[in-house]
């Protein structure tokens, strides 16, 4: 392991403290963040009850770039939760459809999300809105309405921002899409999977090469990066504080 990587990992450990010793492996570890609570999820995990999770989004949720369905991030999340401390039994429905915008996701919310009566919804949004030139005000309003509907249905919600793409790192519209997800998280008090930042971190400190991080199309994630994404999400779903409360 290079000196550069050792220093970077040490920095993550110093910032993250004990929270880093959870689902995330050394390669996938990110700086600990104080996420807003997921009250329904926390109660069910503490009681040892199973979770019903729906992941909705576009190709990153559907799993484009993965070599098989069990290498998508929702499938890997289920496996990680099942072997965690405590073990969390989760039924995860993958409702991702490649190429969809926020509006397209919201149009099928009743059928593909709420019909499953989820305890938790992970909503991966805004990437394709940029690629399809949807105005920021439009997709933000659509996401806002979707969050309200999910909450009215009784589900906890996690938002997931766009992936890091070096070619888009200075693109104002793409950065606005990332910022919009974070602003929605702050507005509604929701955890946000800071995918843009931590994918960049993995590249910068040498834990991933560009070809490890993204598939041959330069857009979609790989088995390995989907694994890390799943580990990061697992730490939000069942953080150390919840694990301790349930005696794990």
Please state the domain extents for the chain: 3-241
Say what the pLDDT of residue 2 is: 43
Both tokens of 45, joined, read 């995990």
When computed from its CA atoms, the radius of gyration of the chain, rounded to whole angstroms, is 17
**pTM greater than the 0.85 cutoff:** yes
Q: Is the dihedral of CA 100, 41, 194, 222 positive or negative?
A: negative
Task: Encode pLDDT of 125-156 as tens digits.
Answer: 999 999 999 999 999 999 999 999 999 999 99
212 in Cβ contact with 222 (< 8 Å) = yes
Q: Compute the half-sphere exposure of residue 141: CA atoms within 13 Å on the CB side of its CA.
A: 5
Say what the pLDDT of residue 244 is: 46
61 in Cβ contact with 73 (< 8 Å) = yes
Q: Domain 3-241 is classified in which CATH homologous superfamily?
A: SGNH hydrolase (3.40.50.1110)
- SS3 of 92, please? strand
- SS3 of 111, please? helix
What are the Cα distances from residue 44, in Å, to 9, 47, 151, 152, 166? Answer: 33, 5, 17, 19, 39
Q: pLDDT under 50 in the chain at which residues? A: 1-22, 241, 243-248
Q: Nearest-CA neighbor of 196 among 223, 170, 234, 217?
A: 170
């Amino acid at each position: 392991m290079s000196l550069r990587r050792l220093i970077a990992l040490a920095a993550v450990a110093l910032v993250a403290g004990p929270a880093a010793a959870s689902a995330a492996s050394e390669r996938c570890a990110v700086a600990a963040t104080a996420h807003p609570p997921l009250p329904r999820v926390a109660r069910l995990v503490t009681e040892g009850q199973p979770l019903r999770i729906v992941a909705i989004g576009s190709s990153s949720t559907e799993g484009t770039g993965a070599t098989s369905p069990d290498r998508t991030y929702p499938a890997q999340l289920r496996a990680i939760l099942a072997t965690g401390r405590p073990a969390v039994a989760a039924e995860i429905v993958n409702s991702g459809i490649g190429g969809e915008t926020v509006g397209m996701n919201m149009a099928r919310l009743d059928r593909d999300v709420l019909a499953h009566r989820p305890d938790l919804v992970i909503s991966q949004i805004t990437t394709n809105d940029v690629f399809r030139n949807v105005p920021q005000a439009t997709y933000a309003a659509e996401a806002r309405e979707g969050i309200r509907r999910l909450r009215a249905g009784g589900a906890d919600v996690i938002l997931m921002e766009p992936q890091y793409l070096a070619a888009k790192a200075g693109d104002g519209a793409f950065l606005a899409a990332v910022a919009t997800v974070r602003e929605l998280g702050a507005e509604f008090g929701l955890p946000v999977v800071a995918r843009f930042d931590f994918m960049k971190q993995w590249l910068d400190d040498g834990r991933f090469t560009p070809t490890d991080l993204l598939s041959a199309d330069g857009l979609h994630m790989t088995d390995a990066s989907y694994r890390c994404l799943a580990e990061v999400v697992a730490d939000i779903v069942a953080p150390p504080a919840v694990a301790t409360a349930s005696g794990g």
